[in-house]
Amino acid sequence: MTYKENHVTTANYPDLLAGLTEIVDEICGSETAGKVALDATFDSELQIDSLTMVEIVVACEERFGVRIPDEALEQLKTVGDAVQFIANAGVAA
Amino acid sequence: MRAAALTGLGSHRPAHRADNTAIAAAIDSSDAWIRERSGIVTRGVAASDESVVDMAVSAGGKALASAGVDPTDVGLVMVATCTLTHAVPGAAARVATALDLSNAGALDLGAACAGFTYGLALAADAVRCGSADNVLVIGSEKFSDILNMDDRSTSFLFGDGAGAGVVGVCDVDGISKPVWSSDGSQSDVLRTVGSPPLLEMEGQAVYRWATSMLPGFARATCERAGITLEDLAAVVPHQANLRITESMVRALKLPPHVVVARDVIDSGNTSAASIPLALDRLRETGEVHRGDSVLLLGFGAGLTAAGQVVRCP
């Protein structure tokens, strides 16, 4: 499936959300992965600190073939923010 | 061409230790935060009269004794360091004189945390080509001279110490050809400023670089050595931060039999000294043995990286 810039729909989200959940599971464990939802905040709800966030972003870049610069990283407050960013960045999943 | 291998190792760990509570107050932090952020519990702090040269001499002398090499048979000594507060004179000639290396050339090597693995690569080539029969490679760092203890991003991370290895002629080569790389476009993420110099670091950028490059770097270094991760007895990455090491271990899905050095817990980040210190510690504790294949991964300021697979002496 190919995601293209400006063609983001909610129908695309489940695949990205599932991929992101797998990444969180691998890096943080199943307990944290179980709390992943579009409206969940990385810091307060998932208890993911800034260094772990860097690892998640690096894993997302590799998995989804996108570049997430440091400036963007700071704006990713919720899981939904990350999914939206990856989708907008144009994904070849 | 001759074959080269590591024939001895030596360590110098400062007697004085500083635990996290001694450091946390100045940065409005805590032992728990430092452990969570870095895995570090304690680190060596050199005495005021215990210099980069002194620690290098101590570690280098032990490495020569461990290798059973007479000082007059050393043809070259390299001291990798980034914590001299003055660029001139370098440390290596003073180390050579203190150790009575009367037939040795001497140079300092500036590749920061990758200095020891760069040194090993060059030492192996010098031995193979016949430029020297024995080369002493030392990493020695005194971060306590260049740390701003009010800086939350660096004060708790770094420690003092020295580690050394002897590279000599062997029947079978025991140091693989290196995988090395550099990226000067990110040179400002880890730097010293001012005079006397103080260390500054963009922690997130360094963390991102290290965690994203290490898995591929590790695989490429094994491939260059003609082995797989399965063939390794141990991995000794530069001891930058325990979380960088754990991230690499997770990404590589290392087989359970592969021992991973975690000397950073007790030593902090000792830059060029960290790999020989960590390898020597694994040898002391019996976690690696003579003849074992060990993957060494140096990476740090510059940015620079160099790695190789060595046969443990």
R_g over Cα of chain A = 12
Please state, in angstroms and rounded to a whole number, the distance separating the CA atoms of residues B261 and B258: 10
Domain co-membership, B51 together with B118: yes
User: Where does residue B68 fall: left (phi above 0), alpha (psi -120 to 50 degrees), or beta otherwise?
Assistant: left
CATH of the domain at B195: 3.40.47.10
Domain co-membership, B18 together with B165: yes
Q: Is B243 on the interface with A (CB under 8 A)?
A: yes
Please state, in angstroms and rounded to a whole number, the distance separating the CA atoms of residues B62 and A17: 55
Q: Where are the alpha helices (DSSP H) in B179-299?
A: 203-225, 242-252, 264-267, 274-284
Q: Is B247 on the interface with A (CB under 8 A)?
A: yes
Domain co-membership, B55 together with B86: yes
Please state, in angstroms and rounded to a whole number, the distance separating the CA atoms of residues B136 and B164: 7
Residue B211 Cα, gap to closest chain A Cα (Å): 7
Domain co-membership, B187 together with B247: yes
**What residue ranges define each of the domains in chain A, with the CATH number in brackets?**
10-89 (1.10.1200.10)
Q: β-strands B179-182, B76-80: how paired?
A: unpaired
B205/A50 CB distance under 8 A: no
Query: Residue A88 has what pLDDT?
Result: 86
A58 SS3 class: helix
Domain finish residue from B170, B195, B213: B170
Kindly name the residue from B113, B134, B222, B312 that is annotated as catalytic. B113
The phi, psi pair for A79, rounded to 5°, reads -60, -40
* Residue bearing the bigger pLDDT, A4 or A36: A36
B187 HSE (CA, 13 A, CB side): 6
Which residue ranges in chain B fall short of pLDDT 70?
A: none
**pLDDT tens sequence across B174-218:** 999 999 999 999 999 999 999 889 999 998 889 999 999 999 999
Domain co-membership, B12 together with B49: yes
Domain co-membership, B118 together with B203: no
Q: Is A48 on the interface with B (CB under 8 A)?
A: no
Domain co-membership, B117 together with B190: no
User: For B66-76, b where at least 16 C-beta lie within 10 A, e where not — what string?
Assistant: bbebebebbbb
Query: Residue B196 has what pLDDT?
Result: 87
Domain finish residue from B142, B170, B198: B170
* The one-letter amino acid at B161: G
Q: β-strands B17-19, B179-182: how paired?
A: unpaired
Q: In terms of residue numbers, what domain contains B28? A: 3-170
Query: Residue A54 has what pLDDT?
Result: 93
**pLDDT tens sequence across A22-79:** 999 999 999 999 999 999 999 999 999 989 999 999 999 988 889 998 889 889 999 9
Domain co-membership, B163 together with B196: no
The two most distant CA atoms of chain B are separated, in Å, by 57
A54/B207 CB distance under 8 A: yes
Domain finish residue from B145, B170, B195: B170
Q: How far is CA B198 from the centre of its chain?
A: 20
Respond yes or no: is residue B113 known to be catalytic: yes
Domain co-membership, B249 together with B123: no
Domain co-membership, B148 together with B60: yes
Q: Is B205 on the interface with A (CB under 8 A)?
A: yes
* pLDDT for residue A82 is more than 80: yes
Domain co-membership, B166 together with B37: yes
Q: What percent of chain B has pLDDT over 70?
A: 100
Domain count, chain B: 2
Closest chain A CA to residue B249: A27
ipTM: 0.79
Domain co-membership, B135 together with B166: yes
Query: Residue A91 has what pLDDT?
Result: 58
Query: For the CA atoms of B305, B309, B311, B312, what is the dihedral angle to 10 degrees?
Result: 50
Do residues B257 and B220 lie in contact, with contact meaning Cβ atoms separated by under 8 Å? no
Please state, in angstroms and rounded to a whole number, the distance separating the CA atoms of residues A30 and A55: 16
* Residue bearing the bigger pLDDT, B312 or A14: B312
Query: Residue A12 has what pLDDT?
Result: 64
Query: Residue A36 has what pLDDT?
Result: 93
Please state, in angstroms and rounded to a whole number, the distance separating the CA atoms of residues B305 and B216: 12
Do residues B118 and B142 lie in contact, with contact meaning Cβ atoms separated by under 8 Å? no
